[in-house]
Amino acid sequence: MWNEIKSNIYSASVYFREFILFLVFVVVIIFLLIEKLTLSIPLILLLLVTGFIILNLIGRRRIKEIDEIKNIIASIRKSNYKSSDEIILSEHLSGLENEIKEMFEKAKNDIEYLERLQRMRSQFLANVSHELRTPIFSIQGFIETLLNGAIDDPKVNRHFLQKANQNTVNLSNLLNDLIDISMIESGEMRMSYRYFDINSFIQNILNEFIPLAEEKNIKLTFNPTKEGLQVFGDKDKLRQVLVNLLQNAIKYTDEGSIEILLAEEKKFVNISVRDTGIGIPEADLNRIFERFYRVDKARSRAVGGTGLGLAIAKHIIEAHNSKIIVQSTLGEGSIFSFMLKK
């Protein structure tokens, strides 16, 4: 009992200055109201005892509140709460309760975000190792076969070397994509924006792809817009985007045509690549921009692709404050488009 009173008084001692001021104020009021009254010993004793009792009550209340808050914080630390609704303080501490709830929600979200990041990193590493293994194993296989005697067989030696060579090209493309992705995601991708002629830019890229399209009997077309039309962007990075869109269109189109369309708007130019290819199932449309995501892994591997192209393209277009949009109908074709500032 005495110990409890001692700790109550000790806890209330933070308000000691205010308390003395209050006592002086009470004495002054008493003197003003009852002029005749002199400060007798019983009165002083009465004041002291009242003061003591008040200090004890204040201290008890303060300890109770601090304990309440301490318990809440300890429960948060021990992860006893699943949701912020379980955090409840006395009514007069509702302001503090709301602050603690918000802090709890933020910490919870931060932890979930970090866990998601950690999962993504592990998955990314697993994907990278898997993708690296495929060309390296192939190269190893061809070289071993050659060393085991095939090198002296003129019917296959050249073919095996060409295969091994193709795999080194794949490996090198994959490494370049990985470097791009890591540069983009660490924020180190340097952009260099300027105005350039969109018609000649597209025509140049198109010329490179005409032989590839012809090989597959696909018609590749482009109707230039107003001569000299300039757009604002990083020409090299945008080239990378268009190259991937065209490569995809050719890879995933078996017959028909591929068209590049330019549409001039007030402040923007809309650039689209449209194909009459296999199309993309609706359920996959949101996912094709994820790293390593391929709709049909077997087909993608057969036509060459690791699923990094659209992830890179999305980042590049977003760095231009724009968005890459896809519309597709399974079996009919796809259209990828984005806007650039004029």
User: What type of residue sits at position 339?
Assistant: M
Cβ closest to ligand ATP, residue 101 vs residue 291: 291
Strands 268-275 and 194-197: unpaired
C-alpha–C-alpha distance, residues 72 and 87, integer Å = 7
Minimum distance from residue 323 beta carbon to ligand ATP (Å): 16
Going by the DSSP 8-state scheme, the letter that residue 289 receives in this structure is T
Pick between residue 249 and residue 271 the one whose CB is nearest to ligand ATP.
249
Q: Say if residues 288 and 326 touch (Cβ distance below 8 Å).
A: yes
Q: What is the DSSP letter of 281?
A: -
Q: Give min distance, CB of 236 to Mg ion, in A.
A: 18
Among 56, 167, 248, 276, binds Mg ion (CB under 5 A): 248
Q: How far is the CB of 294 from ligand ATP (least distance, A)?
A: 3
What is the pattern of x (binds Mg ion, CB under 5 A) and - over residues 167-206?
----------------------------------------
Closest CA to 7 of 67, 48, 68: 67
Among 84, 145, 300, 327, binds ligand ATP (CB under 6 A): 300
The binding track of 139-178 with respect to ligand ATP, each residue x by CB under 6 A or -, is --------------------------------------x-
C-beta neighbour count of 243 within 10 angstroms: 15
Asked if 300 and 294 count as a contact pair (C-beta separation under 8 A), the reply is yes
Residue 198 carries which side chain, given as an amino acid letter? Answer: I
Q: Which of 100, 308, 324, 340 binds ligand ATP (CB under 6 A)?
A: 308
Element (DSSP H or E) covering residue 99: helix 94-147
Site pattern 281..320 for Mg ion (x: CB under 5 A): ----------------------------x-----------
Q: Minimum distance from CB of 158 to ligand ATP (Å)?
A: 26
CA 126 to chain centre: 19
Contacts of 330 (CB under 8 A, 6+ apart): 278, 279, 280, 281, 282
The binder of ligand ATP chosen from 180, 274, 305, 316 (CB under 6 A):
305
Structure tokens at 218: 């696909």
Give 8-40 as a DSSP string: HHHHHGGGHHHHHHHHHHHHHHHHHHSTT----
Work out the end-to-end distance of the chain between its first and last CA atoms, rounded to an integer number of angstroms: 82
Is 244 a binder of Mg ion (CB under 5 A)? yes
Which residues ranging from 268 to 287 are in contact with ligand ATP (CB under 6 A)?
275, 277-280
Contact in structure between 246 and 313 (CB atoms under 8 Å):
no
295 binds ligand ATP (CB under 6 A): yes
Nearest to ligand ATP of 233, 307 (CB atom)? 307
One of 128, 269, 288, 324 touching ligand ATP (CB under 6 A)? 288
Taking residues 216 to 255 in sequence order and writing x for each that binds ligand ATP by CB under 6 A, - otherwise, the string is: ----------------------------x---xx--x---
306 binds ligand ATP (CB under 6 A): yes
C-alpha 311/C-alpha 301 separation (Å) is 17
Q: What is the binding site for ligand ATP (CB under 6 A)?
A: 177, 244, 248-249, 252, 275, 277-280, 288, 293-296, 300, 305-311, 334
Q: What is the binding site for Mg ion (CB under 5 A)?
A: 244, 248, 309
